Amino acid sequence: MELGLKGKQIFITGGSVGIGLAVARAFAREGAEVAIGARNKERVEAEAAKIAEDFGVKTLGISVDVSKPEAIEAARQIIEKEFGGIDILINNAGTGTEETVMNSTDEKWYAVWDLHVMSTVRTARAFVPYMKKRGGGVILNTASICATQPLWYEPIYNTTKAALLMLGKCMANEFISDNIRVNTMSPGLVLTPDWWKTAGVLAEKEGTSAKDYLDGVAKQYAKNERFGSPEEIAEYYVFLASDCGKYSVGSNYYVDGGWLEGVR
């Protein structure tokens, strides 16, 4: 299938590992030039170099903390200099949390709000002007199934991802007249290194192995009783950002192995 992504320029936040890295590699496979952003400079630069080597496309590895406005502006300047702009923006950087409403601090609420919501507002302000100049573009935001079906231990994550879901709809409505399509992805269980780390800690407490712990999580939540791989999830981003997905505007896509209860 010709996806029309060859030569497109893409910025993916949280692109150095997990879902974001798989998305970056999937776009590079289609011939797109990819800029990946994350805080850890060494890792993001190494992964960008590896993508360039594996797929023969131009890449950028940008050290950026997307929760900071000045860091987004610095990333914009690098992308302007090296790419001249972008066609596709993937707002993917994010992290799970662990708290209750009663024990959480204002500081933590604001920090995660900045990471999940304000980063998306700010990258839009930074990069939508390039898309307008190019006659259009695509933005995909990574929310989570938890935006609509919360997990009990992470109210800050659930709430900020729900806000991101609504933000995606508002952006879609605002930008479509400039031929910029905005959609949201809501993954379920995706087996990233972070899950292995969490499982290692929790499994030890329960006297089991990380693998058995993860199998238990998958059985508990996913109707197909397994985690998705980052690579499986990445294909949806590629499709939605491509010409094949051009009638999708302001929608939210669950890719969750059937975890979502009911229909929405």
Contact, 185 vs 140, CB < 8 A? yes
Radius of gyration, CA atoms only, the chain: 18
CA distance 256 to 92: 17
Distance between CA 264 and CA 261 in Å, rounded? 9
Pick the closer one to ligand NDP by CB: 120 or 242. Answer: 120
Return d(Cα 123, Cα 133) in angstroms, integer.
16
- Residue 65 within binding range of ligand NDP, rule CB under 6 A: yes
- Do 242 and 3 meet the contact criterion of CB atoms below 8 Å apart? yes
Stretch in the footprint of ligand NDP (CB under 6 A) among 33-41, 79-87, 130-138, 166-174: 33-41
Q: Quote the CA–CA distance of 184 and 206 in Å, as a whole number.
A: 35
Least distance (Å) between residue 135 CB and ligand NDP? 29
Instruction: For residue 19, state whether it binds ligand NDP (rule: CB under 6 A).
Output: yes
Between 94 and 137, name the residue whose CB sits nearer to ligand NDP: 94
Q: Which residue in 157, 213, 221, 236 is the catalytic one? A: 157
Asked about 221 being catalytic, the answer comes back as no
Q: State the Cα–Cα distance between residues 116 and 37, nearest whole angstrom.
A: 15
The contact mask relative to ligand NDP for 194-223 (x = CB under 6 A, - = no) is x-----------------------------
Q: Which stretch binds ligand NDP (CB under 6 A): 36-44, 82-90, 125-133, 215-223?
A: 36-44
158 binds ligand NDP (CB under 6 A): no
Nearer to ligand NDP, 166 or 176 (CB): 166
Q: Which of 79, 90, 93, 139 binds ligand NDP (CB under 6 A)?
A: 93
Three-state DSSP at 155 gives helix
- DSSP single-letter state for residue 228: B
Given 57, 66, 126, 240, the residue binding ligand NDP (CB under 6 A): 66
Please give the Cα distance from 242 to 87 (Å, whole number).
11
Which candidate, 176, 168, 170, places its Cα nearest to that of 140? 168
- Which of 10, 17, 51, 162 contacts ligand NDP by CB under 6 A? 17
| 229 part of the interface to ligand NDP, by CB under 6 A | no
List the one residue from 7, 84, 193, 258 that touches ligand NDP (CB under 6 A).
193
Cite the DSSP H helix spans in 176-229. Answer: 193-206, 210-221
The 8-class DSSP code of residue 245 comes to G
Q: What residue ranges bind ligand NDP (CB under 6 A)?
A: 13-20, 37-40, 43, 64-67, 92-95, 115, 142, 144, 187, 189-190, 192-194
